Structure 1
Amino acid sequence: MDKGKMAEWLAQGSIAIPKLLLYHYKRLGLTETEFMVLLHLHSFLEEGVSFPTPVEMAERMTLSPAQCMETLRKLIQKGFLAIEEQVDEVRSETYSLKPLWEKLVYYLLIQSANEGRASRQEEEQSLYTMFEQEFGRPLSPFECETLTMWIDQDEHDPAIIKAALREAVLSGKLNFRYIDRILFEWKKNGVQTIEQAKDYGKKFRKHQRSSTQEEFKQTVTFYNWLES
């Protein structure tokens, strides 16, 4: 094989196709034909050909010029492709794939939001289960409403609420009022992570034990045998 010819082929470069588009084009509502037309159009744009004709596109595909023209029309109609006007020295038109990338980004954002909601719902359900296990009974309507308020109104993360529940268990004060007080104190002191909650809890319990021991010393009277 002629090395010069091989180098010439390689010098033509390559086209970068986002894997996300390859993975999700079907879910975006694109057919295989539409997808291939977009890829060829992307290739033309990379080469500096901003407005390839249906005949030029058909030369690279198994479609006829008429089929290429119809597919391009559908892509514009479906909002995957746009024709923009450019005014340099002369007025000209160019294809733009910006609508395609916007649709892809919007789809991914929606997917991410849906996954986040599903994950949050699952976490909230496990939160209710954890409370019922620790209390050893089903939660009352008032308690369920309190949990909902902690999440929706006070905007406490479910993981932080679980940490507050564990703190109440360790302190031997398993009731909603005490847990609410813990959450209030944590929020006031900027506690936002599980590690911060653990550290704050350790310091509080240490301070509580010190205070209890001091009170005990002050209330107990010791008999001095040397003075008897």
Structure 2
Amino acid sequence: MKSNIVAWLQEGNITIPTMLFSEYRNLNLNETELVLLLNIITFIEKGNEFPTPEELSARMTVSIADCHDMLRRLIQRGFIEIMDQYSNEGIRFEKYSVKPLWERLVDQFLLNSQVTRQLEQKTEETDVYTCFEKEFGRPLSPFECESLGMWMDDDHHDPIIIKAALREAVMSGKLNFRYIDRILFEWKKNGIKTIEQAKNHGRKFRQKQTEKTHTKNDDHQPSVPFYNWLEQ
């Protein structure tokens, strides 16, 4: 994934300034270094792959000496590199490569995405505890909190699926952790991973239980008022 994004960046198929403007501070670049890098990118896109400090200074409000120093620091810090290139005639020349910058930028983007996913997951997990306490009408016991944590961390049940199992237990009139654990076990055994699959499976299960109840009524036997997942 990272190599593909870097390749797209090098080919100019992605708008770079927006990403650079939002992330340059996180890359420990200051505004002057950012402008210098943008000018190098512009020169490269125009066919000048090795702009001199004089050419860069002419576009900026810094001296030639300062441009030279900044270029040296950016190379040392791994934002740009100088590469050897050979013409068709075998003449050696140098050019700047901003591939290291793209790699650093992609790393930062992936890191931000990971942090965002972790925060979203944490929010979802917190929401699960809140939903359980609301349905149970009381704070969860330490054992119940541990069970919830095991469902998410050890059994790798998605918080959305756990909340769906909670709703299923409420509809079945069996609001306890053993019953919910059995629902999750059955869903995992049947490969249920999405909320839609859980809804369909629960609907089919309740339909089967209703048919069993009607059969018992026809035989003049007592009916069962709830749908018992523990019988599965």
Does TM-score exceed 0.5, indicating one fold?
yes
Q: Report the counterpart of residue 152 of structure 2 in structure 1.
A: 151
Q: Report the counterpart of residue 123 of structure 1 in structure 2.
A: 124
Q: Report the counterpart of residue 114 of structure 1 in structure 2.
A: 115
Distance of 2:16 and 2:198 partners within structure 1: 45
Q: Report the counterpart of residue 79 of structure 2 in structure 1.
A: 80
Distance of 1:26 and 1:70 partners within structure 2: 20
What are the Cα deviations for residues 164-217 of structure 1, in whole angstroms up to 9, with x where unaligned?
A: 000000000111111111111112222221122111111111111111221232
Q: Look at both structures and tell me which one has the larger radius of gyration over its CA atoms.
A: 1
| Counterpart secondary structure, 2:128 | helix
Q: Using the TM superposition, name which of 169-178 and 91-100 deviates more.
A: 91-100
Q: Report the counterpart of residue 53 of structure 1 in structure 2.
A: 52
RMSD: 1.5
1:29 aligns with 2:31: no
Distance of 1:46 and 1:213 partners within structure 2: 76
Q: Per chain length, whose mean CA-contact separation is higher, i.e. which structure has more relative contact order (CA < 8 Å, sep 6+)?
A: 2
Shift of 1:70: 0.4
| Counterpart secondary structure, 1:92 | strand
Q: Using the TM superposition, name which of 157-166 and 139-148 deviates more.
A: 139-148
Q: Report the counterpart of residue 188 of structure 1 in structure 2.
A: 189
What are the Cα deviations for residues 99-154 of structure 1, in whole angstroms up to 9, with x where unaligned?
A: 11111111111111111111111111111111112112222222111111111111
Distance of 2:148 and 2:85 partners within structure 1: 58
Shift of 1:219: 4.4
Shift of 1:26: 2.2
Paired letter, 2:136: F
| Counterpart secondary structure, 2:25 | helix
1:141 aligns with 2:138: no
Shift of 1:18: 3.2
Distance of 1:165 and 1:62 partners within structure 2: 64
Distance of 2:108 and 2:150 partners within structure 1: 31
Distance of 2:151 and 2:73 partners within structure 1: 50
Q: Report the counterpart of residue 167 of structure 1 in structure 2.
A: 168
| Counterpart secondary structure, 1:86 | strand
Q: How many residues align?
A: 205
Shift of 1:42: 0.7
Shift of 1:62: 2.1
5+ residue gaps, structure 1, are 1-15, 221-228
